[in-house]
Amino acid sequence: MDQSSILDFRSGTFFAPILVLYNDDLEKIEQRLQEKIASAPDFFSNSPVLFDLSELNENGKEIDVEALISLLRKLSLFPIGIRGGDPSQEKRALELSVPVDSSRSRNDAILPEIQKKDDTMPEIQPVIREAVRAPAMMITQPVRSGQRIYAASDLVILAQVSAGAEIMAEGNIHVYNTLRGRALAGVQGDTTARFFCLDLQAELVSIAGIYKTSEDLKGTPRKKPVQVYLRDQALIIEELS
Amino acid sequence: MARIIVVTSGKGGVGKTTTSAAIAMGLAKRGHKTAVIDFDVGLRNLDLIMGCERRVVYDFVNVINGEANLNQALIKDKNCNQLYILPASQTRDKDALSLEGVGRVLEELSKDFKYVVCDSPAGIEKGAYLAMYYADDAFVVTNPEVSSVRDSDRMLGILASKSRRAELNMDPIKEYLLLTRYDPDRVESGEMLGLADVQEILSLHLLGVVPESKSVLNASNSGIPVILDEKSDAGQAYADVVARYLGEKKPLRFIDSKKGFLRKLFGGK
């Protein structure tokens, strides 16, 4: 280890539920939040939360950001980001130590819709992001069922990815082994992202939100190197000769 | 310093307690002072399998809460004086265990014992987490069946990321695959996953294969760990497992289909 190293920034993943507001009545919001928290106290107690004001702003509804943040904190939630706010709301939030999450764009990946298929799971998005495109994340140990990997640029995996594991990258994904889990490339909307694999047995493959499940991948040759890319909004799976 | 072994799986009913009892007895019979601990608070079985259910006075939770000391709670096995059992509480639940309490007990045991075998409950919740947290070695018990393999894989992920060794960036827990309830005839007929299939899906070092055997039920009924039934196939397989764990080379037995063998004998292939 280099003796002069003091600190390092690494590509990381942080998951938090996103609170989307449709109504601007703080009393109603408080009541509904209390109900939600009571329904799953362990999940919500001291939970970090990102709040999304885009629906309110699109429908011309005003909300007092300061009151909202105090309300959240009163209910033992930790607001860690504001999304979809107008400049004055963002400014107010920053003054109250709540950063702005600008990762959501109009042409965003359909990633949230995949999550919608599972009603019980709250929507999750990475919150801490690299400012500069990082070098590829390299994984040499098997990725086991239930594990999740998120790479801010490319992802290279040299061991197997088990069924029930999820690997995600904003850039390309290379699996130089067998993939049995879910792989999502170009997760922030990069339609040029590609996926490379030595043995494709995936549960789901997605590029920029366009996906195929293992049912649709039945015809894929097994134990042969393949690449997957998008052409005209459709996933193409090709053997690498 | 004792070597702490966790016997875990994720999936229930695959043979963790049977294995814990057999391994602990096997190690103790070889002269190593061994303790086996039941981490399944509220659903204890280890005491039944070890045949000491009528001698339980104090249990693991009593020791953690300071209501009894370790010597009062440990039960010496009738068949081997190097083996001690620490039973779980039956009246409480897993919340009665704490990470720091478990750590204290293991540290105290480490002073006198060579091996401590932790019999994990099924699942990936607190009980299983506490059983594996301080481990040095993990025996991942798997049945040759898809849900068991999937659950073992999940458990391997947890062992690699949530154990004390993982958190402190030490050498990781040594993971061993133990394939139990193996039926070579069913593998041959394609009904059951084979040894090679399971190893391919899990990519894990195989410690041994224990065949499906009637002797396991007999052993639990009589409260004698199956490894002491030296005539039984399962007992012999567990003896091989202990030998391999201690560094001896033993070829895998009980993996060939009887039908296949007869065919070879008479079919001339």
The pLDDT tens digits of the residues spanning A36-92 come to 888 877 778 788 899 889 888 888 888 899 999 999 999 989 999 998 888 899 999
Confidence of residue B266 (pLDDT cuts 50, 70, 90): low
* Contacting residues for B226 by C-beta, under 8 A, at least 6 apart: B18, B21, B22, B213, B215, B216, B219, B232, B234, B235, B238
Would you call A160 an interface residue with chain B, using a CB distance cutoff of 8 Å? yes
- Residue of chain B nearest A144, judged by CA positions: B157
Q: Is the pLDDT of residue A186 over 90?
A: yes
pLDDT of amino acid A104? 54
Mutation target to probe the A interface, by most A beta carbons within 10 A, among B154, B162, B165, B171 is: B154
The string of pLDDT tens digits covering residues B192-242 is: 999 999 999 998 989 999 999 999 999 999 999 999 999 999 999 999 999
* Chain B residues lying within 8 Å of A142, measured CB to CB: 156, 203
pLDDT of amino acid B9? 96
**Mean pLDDT across the stretch A148-158?**
94
Would you call B197 an interface residue with chain A, using a CB distance cutoff of 8 Å? no
Rounded CA separation B32/B246 (Å): 11
Q: Is the pLDDT of residue A123 over 60?
A: no
Predicted TM-score (pTM) of the model is: 0.70
Percent of chain B predicted with pLDDT > 70: 96
Q: Is the pLDDT of residue A221 over 90?
A: no
pLDDT of amino acid A122? 54
Rounded CA separation B118/A87 (Å): 57
Give the HSE-up count for residue B9: Cα atoms under 13 Å, Cβ half-sphere. 24
Report phi then psi at A200, rounded to 5. -90, 110
Q: Is the pLDDT of residue A109 over 60?
A: no
Confidence of residue A127 (pLDDT cuts 50, 70, 90): low
Q: Which residue has the tokens 């299983």?
A: B128
Ordered alpha helix ranges (H), B74-133: 99-112, 126-133
Interface size between A and B, measured as CB pairs under 8 A: 33
Q: Alpha carbon of A58 to those of A24, A65, A225, B151: distances in Å? A: 12, 16, 46, 45
pLDDT of amino acid B269? 45
Confidence of residue A126 (pLDDT cuts 50, 70, 90): low
From A164's Cα to the closest Cα of chain B, the distance in A is: 8
Confidence of residue A112 (pLDDT cuts 50, 70, 90): very low
Contact B4, B106 (CB under 8 A): yes
Would you call A163 an interface residue with chain B, using a CB distance cutoff of 8 Å? yes
Q: Which residue has the tokens 């103790």?
A: B28
Confidence of residue B69 (pLDDT cuts 50, 70, 90): very high
Mean pLDDT of the residues in chain A:
84
Query: B 122-181 residues with CB below 8 A of A?
Result: 150-151, 153-154, 156-158, 160-161
Q: What is the DSSP code string of A98-123?
A: --B-----TT--SHHHHHHTSTTSPP
Q: Is the pLDDT of residue A111 over 50?
A: no
Percent of chain A predicted with pLDDT > 90: 49
Question: With b meaning 16 or more CB within 10 Å and e meaning fewer, what string describes B205-225?
Answer: ebbbbbbbbebbeebbeebbb
From A158's Cα to the closest Cα of chain B, the distance in A is: 13
Task: Find the range with the poorest average confidence among A98-102, A172-176, B47-51.
Answer: A98-102
* Contacting residues for B58 by C-beta, under 8 A, at least 6 apart: B67, B68, B72, B73
* Contacting residues for A116 by C-beta, under 8 A, at least 6 apart: none
* Beta bridge mates, B211: B182
Rounded CA separation A147/B161 (Å): 9
**Mean pLDDT across the stretch B77-87?**
96
From A127's Cα to the closest Cα of chain B, the distance in A is: 22
